[in-house]
Amino acid sequence: MERSKKRHFSFLLVCESAALVGGVICVLPMFGVDTWVGELAASWRPHIAAGVLVFAVAALVERRRLIAGLLVAVAVTLGADVIWSGLVSAQAEAGTQETAAGEVTRVMFSNVLIHNRSLADLIVWIDEKQPDVVVLTEITPTHVLEITEAMADYPYQVLEPRPHAFGMVIYSRLPIAGHPFATLTRDSLSDGGPVTLVADIETPLGLLQVAGMHRFPPAAKRSWELRAEQLDAAVDIWARSMAPWSSSATSTSKPHG
């Protein structure tokens, strides 16, 4: 019985310690300490925060108050960053363009990887809203294959998917005059993928320019530095094209347009 208790104690202690170390690694990028593991785990912050909190409760039950306190601090920090990131990266409104005939060019933006893993919601939204242009970020080759049939009504396509989800695609019912894209950061996770993809859409009033932009892992300091570089470079692309209308969006919680 005593041996069983010791094993239980040791197992929980190891798990709590591992949770603490993992949580700290995920927190470090928020203070400008970039780590490959921290960036890789960026999309899992809510899950990691919840897991750390569970082990904090376990540590508290076992009366290891110091470890419990540290785990709670890590969980709260991760949770606060998730909430803050959601607030400050509130999605840009999808642009619409009024034409002389009263028609509207509808543009829909969506992040595929994080919130549309089954793609079912995305396809439902496209069928319901019938957008003229669809911009998808964080999309993989597998995702593209899965929605090929659903996107059959969009003959004009710019496909730049990537296996590691830094891909991007643009589907359009209207002709695409050009589609410059640029890798605007040397971030290790982008691996040469298009961080910003711009498409010039031909409409009755001229060119409508749409752009998809990837967000970066939530390393508070570095993330905003990269975002600033990204936006500056995107402005340069738009300025060179001299398109009269522009619409842009970062990755989104769900399709909107």
User: What confidence tens digit (pLDDT) does each residue in 7-34 have?
Assistant: 445 666 666 666 666 666 666 655 555 5
Decide if pLDDT at 116 tops 60.
no
Average pLDDT, the chain: 65
Return the percentage of the chain with pLDDT > 90, whole number: 1
Query: DSSP assignment of 119-139, as one string?
Result: -HHHHHHHHHH--SEEEEES-
Helix/strand/coil percentages in the chain, nearest 5:
45, 20, 35
Residues with Cβ within 8 Å of 141's Cβ and at least 6 positions away in sequence, in order, are 161, 162, 163, 167
Q: Hey, what are 36's tokens?
A: 């490959």
User: What confidence tens digit (pLDDT) does each residue in 62-105 have?
Assistant: 777 777 777 777 777 777 666 655 544 433 333 334 434 445 67
The domains located in the chain, with CATH, are 2-88 (no CATH), 96-250 (3.60.10.10)
Decide if pLDDT at 244 tops 60.
no
Nearest to 113 by CA among 237, 229, 214: 214
pLDDT at 232: 62
